[in-house]
Structure 1
Amino acid sequence: MTDLDVAVGLHDPAGKLLVDRIGADATVVAIGSAEADALGVVPASVVGAGAGRLYDAASLRRLHDMLAHDRHEPPARAFPVTMLRGDGSRIELMAIAVRGGTPDRPVLDVFKAPGPDGGEFLDLAESNEIMRAIIQKAREAIWCIRYDRPVDVTVSTDEIVDQIFEHPSVWCMCNTAMARAYDLDDETDLNGRNVRFHWPRNAVNEAFIREVIANGFQVEGAISEDYRRDGTPVLMENDVRAHIADGRLHRLWGTLREVKPGGFEVRRERSDYAALAFELLP
């Protein structure tokens, strides 16, 4: 058992949390036993190595950004993360990263829930005091759309788009920040409710879903058009992941943030979709 296991175990006696600590130079300072087992790696083989041994390039960029982040900003951040198993396969999870250490030598404790799709994240967050506190304090708006009738992703793109908007779906795993993005009081006004009022089918959102599909259901900064409680449309930038099993989409999930006027920079790899989103606005 590592020192990190001992610290986390005070709040997680069942040992379900996956956790690692990343140092200021983006090296792995420590890794919990549960995470090492889930990834199929030996702790001694990754401690001291670059965090790229555990995270894909997009996730690594996010960790670098957090390590360089202004210490006066909220210390806890949530984001979808892709981790790398020892055999080269990937695992999609929701992560909560908490910045600590000193201003000159920051560290990140990165918590993840187990399960190949992050499906246990909500249950764990509700039953575990450290995860519950962190997710509610997270600045990022966390969302998940659960499909009561899974979407067949083996068919054509047009058919996938139709199913995504036509199959019954509800919000789940939304936090308070997500509710506030829609001018709602708290997450109870979203979780368990139909997604269509706040995220309807329209030209912008069809373009958003096509971008998600084109990128293998793993995309950063995809633009959607959401609606606040009073019906006001607002553009949101989303980092998206998905739970797909046996050719069926069960959940779309991720984080979002509002696109502020004049504050959006089109990244080259998604310029066509982002430009289309703005052109399709009424």
Structure 2
Amino acid sequence: MKIHVPDTAHFDALMVDWIDGQGRVCAVNALEARELAIKIADGESLPLERIYSSTSAQVLRGIARGDQPVRSGLPVWVNSPQYSEVPMIATVAADAARGIVVIKQPLPASVLGIGPELAERVEILSQMIGAATEACWCIEFLEPVDTSLAEDEIVERIFANQSRWRACNEAMARLYRVPDGTDFNMQPVSRYFPATEINRQMVRDLVRSNYRLDRAVAVDRRHDGTEMLVENDFRAAIKDGFLVRLWGTTRDIGAHREREQQLTDRADTMQDILSAAPDPILVVSEDGLLLAANPAAESVWGRTAEQVLGRPIQHFIETRQALDKLRQAVLSGEEGDGECELAVIAADGSRDVWRFRAARIEGEIRRYVLTARRKARRRARSLTEAAS
């Protein structure tokens, strides 16, 4: 049945778009362009999913291709710039020049059989996602993935099957440095989530974890093509054995991992330096427990690190109130040499006086670094020197 529609110029208060025979939006009226923040240049077109939900898009695509008859009173869901879906009632008619024309007006949720409370919850969730500071995303598979296939085939199809971004928020666009005025949701999924080996392994882990995975590391690409190390939390929607949707959150962990590597490199360097130092070096906690000792300390005093770590330093020092003396040395070190003399008891029971230089390490837990040098013993004067 062919539905006659008057000149659309009279529908200034209604949203109108035209869909060509390929099932793409080729034109919109001024109201729809303004309300949905879209613009179509002459000769260009947009996928239906830019304006409609996936279900509504499938129905309209079937009508545009002639697979289904034109209809009036068709309920559709329209994607708003605020990442929510607005229920509308549409009249679809044939247009000789541009395929079909779709004329819409907002429709109360109750008319579509959705209770006011449910509609309000959907609106609240949409607003929360849109305003979230963490990057939220959703990948919708226009070609659902059969989860009964072999693992490798599932992984391959997750990357190969036709899919699109849906309801990705502003934080997601900022994270991937999408230029102002460019809709992230209209970009190809593969542009930011390429089928690299590390990403394939992440998806393989997702499949093995029954499509629920947290803190999964991937290497994505920003809008300009530069790589970005990210961490994802994944959830999935599976209907009738087919994966139809993945969603979750993404965090840029590149700076964090770089900082971790820098700290690890610095720790390795310091360990090499301490291992090569000829003088004994100790690290002591605020309450006097030995936290670390370099190889020179083990060699000179005859005790391995396993034998002394975690024990009070006073157990190995004969001088009374050794910790107080070290603390005093730290305080005097701010104005003087910061040293004190302590008698150390070696593993064989021998005792020698050592000069300790103490320095404080500030942080959440205060610690002291001690560097020891054996105090030079006075040599007895020769008889000749005594007689002179």
Which TM-score tier does this pair reach, normalised by the shorter chain? 0.3 to 0.5
Which entry has the higher C-alpha Rg, 1 or 2? 2
> TM-score, with normalisation over the residues of structure 2?
0.35
**Larger RCO, structure (CA 8 Å, separation 6 or more):** 1
